Amino acid sequence: FGKVTNLTDYGAFVEIEQGIEGLVHVSEMDWTNKNVHPSKVVQVGDEVEVMILEIDEDRRRISLGMKQCLANPWNEFADNFHKGDKLKGAIKSITDFGVFVGLPGGIDGLVHLSDLSWNEAGEEAVRKFKKGDEVEAVVLSIDVE
């Protein structure tokens, strides 16, 4: 455990022992929310559980992780769902290559353009969807990496 001492755009500094601080990079704060400002996750003064990921003695830097102290929702998803399962979720975002659907555990699943419709081109099919729409999808594969 450590205490958050400072926030930056790229992470949070955490004092793990008196006078010893490390950085939790924003990518190591949460398994699913990778592009959020650290202030949306922690505040200065918060007591947080951290794991030491790397110690760079030459540069006198300690890299810390918070998400490593939590269960990985991807592993949990892979344990509970399998190829062929049908799931419902709301569309979180629409991109040039497909739609992202919110799934159990706070993870997002991609429905690629080529998998949106049996009888329409993906570019045409995607126009029928909008953010927030509830959809049903079939799990084609699960990549926990």
* pLDDT level of residue 34 (50, 70, 90 thresholds): confident
Query: Tokens at residue 118, please?
Result: 């049996």
* Residue at a domain's end among 46, 69, 92: 69
Per the structure, the count of domains in the chain is: 2
* pLDDT level of residue 122 (50, 70, 90 thresholds): confident
Q: For the whole prediction, is pTM greater than 0.85? A: no
Query: Tokens at residue 126, please?
Result: 């995607």
For 67-91, the DSSP string reads GGGS--HHHHHHHH--TT-EEEEEE
| Half-sphere exposure of residue 36: CA atoms within 13 angstroms, side-chain side | 12
How many residues in the chain? Answer: 145
The range of the structural domain enclosing residue 19 comes to: 2-69
Residue 143 falls inside a structural domain: no
Residues 83 and 64 in one domain: no
* Residue at a domain's end among 41, 69, 97: 69
Residue 145 falls inside a structural domain: no
Q: What angle do CA 131, 71, 16 make, to 5 degrees?
A: 110
3-class SS letters over 5-55: EEEECCEEEEEEECCEEEEEEHHHCCCCCCCCCHHHCCCCCCEECCEEEEE
Residues 103 and 126 in one domain: yes
Average pLDDT over residues 77-93: 95
Q: What is the DSSP letter of 66?
A: S
Query: Could you tell me the CATH number of the domain that includes residue 98?
Result: 2.40.50.140
Q: What rounded mean pLDDT belongs to the chain?
A: 94
pLDDT of residue 134: 96
* pLDDT level of residue 100 (50, 70, 90 thresholds): very high
